[in-house]
Amino acid sequence: MKKFLTSLAMIALSLPAWAQTEESNWYTDLQAMDSGQLTLLVILGIVLFVILVLLFLMVYLMSFMVTVFRKENPELADEPSWWDSFKERFVTGKMDEVGGKAEQEKLMTDHSYDGITELDNFMPPWLQWVFILTIGFAIAYFTYYSVLGIGLTGVQEYEESLKVEAIAAEARKANMAASIDETNVTVDDSGTALAAGKSIFEANCAACHAQDGGGGVGPNLTDDYWLHGGDIKDVFTVIKYGVISKGMVPWEDQLAPQEIQEVASYILSLKGTTPANPKDPQGELYAPGEAAPVEAVPTVTDSTAVVAAL
């Protein structure tokens, strides 16, 4: 009894956490439904409720009719009810009278231990039905998975889940690549990214900056001097929006954000290389961690202040 009460207490303590998790899951799913799905769910709930009510009424009417028949026919009073018949046939089986002749015939005298004897009873009907159902399920399972080969095995399900996750990972990667901008861009120095950046640079940037980045119409990209900052965010911004006043066109409509990140990473990888014909340094000396140089704002002298001072 104590073990039973302890088990009930543990179940009762675990119910709130389980209920909170389940509630959050179904509530989230419910919020994600549209009006049509909610209407269909309400209709299904009403239909299920009506079915349960009809079943309850059916059982009640059967019990009422049995009671009426018993009152009208006294000879039926000693016959078992439909529930007793059902329970005896499918649940408990026929119970022998304790100490009766049927029970004495089932007594196994050779199975006596400390005065405790064993009866050669048959399996309860419910256990027989469960056993039969497990055999039927095993045959259907073996036929479905092994004979016909329709169902997926554990290994196949695992491989399928890997494929699904790979597709989802590509979708997440595409979303992340599309969301790259000048505020969150980072240097991607992987071989694949640098190779892609080199191809983009040679196709679009080499005309002004030379194939080796030494500069031409545009500035030298291999030294430590930068006109608009030498950080990855600065380079990304210049490539994306351009510098129209100095002939640098914007590339945001021609290159994807990930491509701009790749070519910007490649440009930074050219630092310290030795181009064939390097152009003289332009701009300000840039050290990592420094902010981009800000153009000086011309100071306007207030003539009235000078006059007042005089």
Q: What is the pLDDT of residue 264?
A: 92
Rounded to a whole number of angstroms, the distance between the first and last alpha carbons of the chain is 106
> What is the crossing angle of helices 232-241 and 257-269, to 10°?
130
Q: Is the pTM of this model over 0.75?
A: no
pLDDT at 63 over 70: yes
Virtual torsion, Cα 270, 274, 279, 285, nearest 10 deg? 60
Percent of the chain with pLDDT over 70: 73
Rounded average pLDDT over 158-176: 87
Cα–Cα distance, 308 to 310 (Å, whole number)? 5
Amino acid at position 72, single letter: E
Instruction: Name residue 226's beta-bridge partners.
Output: 284
Cα–Cα distance, 279 to 64 (Å, whole number)? 105
pLDDT at 12 over 60: no
Q: What is the pLDDT of residue 294?
A: 44
Residue-wise pLDDT for 260-297, tens only, equals 999 999 999 998 898 888 899 888 898 776 555 544 33
